[in-house]
């Protein structure tokens, strides 16, 4: 690699942004040239996150102070909140005179030279995940500000959409809950082994999944020594999961989904209850997942009755899965675990960036999980 790619991380002072920077700092093909923050603008990232103090990084600047024309960026990883992200990404493509709407985003065939001199964007917010503008407005409470970009973005679950990721300028990174759920369910829907009208997902996430902004409900006394559900029956990740499951099923899908906040820093565990299609067994589901992920570097189907746990994936880009027979006839239980900040966010963005630039998909992501 003769020249490193110039990368900006927007929203670097949040948990997801900081994890993305940590991963990119060890990436052999990347140079971090811009880091943005709002309240922390003007500071060194190491003063905001002391564990990153030893890294050679640019200081944090305000988004309004970024000079897009002169930055000569190859990639931008957006770790901004929804709404803010769509405005910034739309302005970025406009400022760089990007041909995203005409011949860059969503090309039908690979075009290795088609992106020369063009910025590639990997967005970690929810702004470009839903292809239906009306659905976005329903779930996020306001019209989308960049609807053309919204409809042309690629849903960037690497194990599912590699070709599309390779061939897009705008990757909509999946949410953390959908990442685990879709990795567990999509091969089973493809194979017709489960009833898509009977899926119930019980999900639990560490507090970092709620972000770093000051919120009363995230204070230690509110979350310590306790666990509680939130957004019951109306979590914003539901339409994203239903959209992707519906694509696989070839028809609309409705799921049950209840997330819970648990008193740990990071990690995500999903217990998914499914009804088997006639003639199928829990072991058949497990065989399907084994076959689907046999060559995947970041997805592992565990042996025997070993149950996935967040301690198996902490600090890594890994997803671990297993399938169990339910005591009730004709049903099975699928369990998935990921680190919400890595495979559920920054690590998956680095994985997709590797695909975009034709690097080995595992570059910068080979660290083993942390334990204890």
What residues are annotated to the active site? Answer: 176
CA-nearest of 343, 361, 344 to 352 is 361
CA-nearest of 254, 128, 150 to 199 is 254
Cross-strand bridge partners of residue 122: 77, 171
Cβ within 8 Å of residue 250, ≥6 positions away:
none
CA 281, CA 300: separation in Å to the nearest integer? 20
| Tokens 């910068």 sit on residue | 364
Q: How far apart are the first and last CA of the chain?
A: 36
CA-nearest of 325, 322, 201 to 259 is 201
């Amino acid at each position: 690699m003769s020249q490193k790619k110039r990368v900006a991380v927007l929203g670097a002072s949040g948990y997801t942004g900081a994890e993305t920077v940590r991963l990119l700092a060890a990436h052999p093909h990347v140079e971090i040239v811009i880091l943005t923050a709002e309240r922390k603008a003007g500071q060194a990232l190491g003063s905001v996150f002391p564990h990153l103090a030893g890294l050679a990084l640019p200081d944090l600047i305000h988004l309004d102070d970024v000079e897009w024309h002169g930055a000569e960026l190859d990639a931008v990883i957006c770790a901004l909140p929804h709404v803010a992200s769509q405005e910034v990404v739309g302005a970025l493509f406009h400022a760089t005179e990007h041909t995203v709407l005409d011949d860059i985003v969503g090309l039908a065939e690979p075009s290795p030279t088609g992106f020369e001199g063009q910025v590639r964007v990997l967005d970690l917010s929810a702004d470009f995940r839903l292809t239906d503008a009306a659905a976005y407005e329903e779930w996020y409470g306001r019209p989308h500000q960049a609807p053309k970009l919204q409809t042309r973005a690629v849903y960037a679950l690497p194990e599912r959409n590699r070709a599309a990721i390779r061939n897009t300028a705008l990757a909509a990174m999946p949410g953390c809950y959908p990442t685990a759920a879709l990795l567990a369910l999509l091969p089973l829907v493809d194979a017709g082994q489960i009833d898509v009208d009977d899926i119930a997902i019980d999900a639990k996430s560490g507090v970092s999944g709620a972000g770093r902004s000051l919120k009363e409900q995230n204070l230690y006394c509110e979350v310590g020594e306790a666990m509680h559900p939130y957004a019951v029956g109306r979590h914003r990740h539901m339409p994203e999961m239903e959209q992707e499951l519906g694509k696989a099923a070839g028809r609309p899908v409705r799921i049950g989904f209840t997330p819970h906040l648990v008193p740990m820093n990071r990690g995500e565990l999903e217990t998914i209850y499914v009804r088997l299609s006639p003639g199928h067994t829990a072991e058949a589901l497990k065989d399907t997942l084994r076959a689907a992920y046999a060559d995947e570097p970041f997805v592992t189907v565990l042996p025997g009755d070993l149950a996935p746990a967040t301690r198996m994936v902490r600090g890594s880009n890994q997803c671990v899965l297993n399938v169990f027979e339910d005591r009730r006839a004709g049903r099975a239980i699928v369990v998935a675990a990921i680190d919400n900040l890595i495979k559920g966010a920054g690590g998956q963005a680095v994985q997709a960036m590797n695909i975009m630039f034709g690097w080995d998909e595992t570059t910068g992501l080979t660290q083993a999980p942390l334990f204890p």
